[in-house]
A and B are shown apart, each in its own frame.
Chain A
């Protein structure tokens, strides 16, 4: 990313991501905030492309936009009254505390990490991700699939007619 175009693209994406993220919270219409969330997630995929992480970018679009955001919008559409009524509720102070705690954790992680400033490799990342995933990180990988399976079974049990 030493090149000027790379830097310009990075700043455009960064401004777009943060702008979308702010709008997610501030727009009154919940459907609009879901759309801005899509924009935010798409911008992050753009950052991955800038870093030559093509596999991560594709998976980001596939999972976060193609699946998570779509399910979110699906949920909003099924509960249409949410849009017409006021979406705010009485949990402001607990929410503030929770997000504040999360922010502190993130900031300690950001400032505690020794960031390496080397240019991204131009090699294809898919193979190395697969190697890492199926050797060093096989346990988290298998655990996450068990968690997903549990979620699916749980959804079926809840949705089943009594």
Chain B
């Protein structure tokens, strides 16, 4: 697609200028496309969550409630923009943008189809990890600048959970990168003659749980636990600034879903069809898979109750981290052995039959480790040791 845009601009601009213009047009379409999809994702989440909780959900605005996102946007746009006097003005105003920027930047390296990718960076997945790390600063700034202890508590909790879950998440990604031999998102998709979820089941599970924590979604949503700290870091935000935080959250959720699809569900490739069909069909397949992963997040939210912070941090360090390390070591050995057995030359990738064999081994190990964990490790059920208690016996 980019070539067609470049040739269109070439009719009245020089080559380098038209390349720059094509990039600009690509960014414009991408951002608008993503934001419109995200708007409908909020509706999808509310409807699906409604069904999971045995109610209907918003269905009054437009056919089947399809116009609900637009009504929400108009409502938020017309609300008063309150900046509390005690707020630290500059950080308070910049924070929503700093939260949104990383979530939108991730889409630069997401491949929608063989040619539909804004920039096939050599460091693709590393770029995703690096840029999403910046969003923590936005959360911090809002929590600080709000001059509100609940906001501050919310941002502190956010950082504690994000720092813990980044470790198993990156270890899971390293296993995939080791197998593929490239960090480029397009290369990872092209590698997957069978979806990597079948080859790397442990990585997939760890990655999925880690990004739910990274996104501060239920059951890891202690950051904005309504019953404990009002709304967390965006307690003091109103109107469009609040909407920007909301948008950032859902854009990030959709972006991480797209990353899951790219890494583990063979991206734009249609399952069991090796041939490359039309880019539009590939893009559609990619979108369907992404929305499917997003629905898994909604399903999590509708199923599990919120965890305590010590349970969340304990789960990351005591369960996910050891499994991720074990998985990485096993993958490294497998890659070495299989490259030797199948005599893979430099610059070539493993044949499909090798992936199938590797997948069978990994699934067997995954099941054995799962049974062992279930049998020998007791759930974390003890109370935290130091919990402030009031005179009436209530925990704070």
Contact = CB atoms under 8 A, between A and B. Distances in A.
Interface in B125-179: 126-127, 129-131, 133-134, 136-137, 140-141, 143-144, 152, 155-156, 159, 163
Contacts, number: 63
A58 B123 contact: yes
A59 B137 contact: no
A66 B169 CA distance: 15
Interface residues of A, number: 22
B159 A66 contact: no
Given A54-B123, A58-B126, A70 B137 contact: yes
A38 to B, nearest CB: 6
> Is the contact region of chain B dominated by helix, strand, or loop, or is it mixed?
helix
B72 interface: no
A54 B184 CA distance: 12
Interface residues of A: mostly helix, strand, loop or mixed? helix
A70 B121 contact: no
A126 to B, nearest CB: 6
B158 to A, nearest CB: 10
Given A35-B91, A61-B133, A62-B133, A73 B140 contact: yes
B183 interface: yes
Nearest to B149: A80
Contacts of A69: 137
Given A54-B123, A62-B126, A67 B133 contact: yes
Nearest to B166: A66
B144 A126 contact: no
Contacts of A59: 126, 130
A53 B328 CA distance: 27
B156 A58 contact: no
Nearest to A31: B144
A70 B162 CA distance: 11
Interface residues on B, range: 20 to 34
Contacts of A35: 91, 137, 141
A30 to B, nearest CB: 11
A126 B155 CA distance: 34
Nearest to A3: B16
A160 B5 CA distance: 61
A65 B137 contact: yes
A126 B131 contact: no
A95 B183 CA distance: 43
Considering residues A29, A35, A126, which has the most beta carbons from chain B within 10 angstroms of its beta carbon? A35
Interface of B: 88, 91, 121-123, 126-127, 129-131, 133-134, 136-137, 140-141, 143-144, 152, 155-156, 159, 163, 183
List 3 A-B pairs, minimum CB-CB distance, nearest first. A66-B133, A62-B130, A124-B122
Interface of A: 29, 31-32, 35, 38, 54-55, 58-59, 61-62, 65-67, 69-70, 73-74, 77-78, 124, 126
Given A61-B133, A62-B130, A66-B134, 8 more contacts: A31-B91, A35-B91, A54-B122, A58-B130, A62-B129, A66-B130, A67-B133, A78-B156
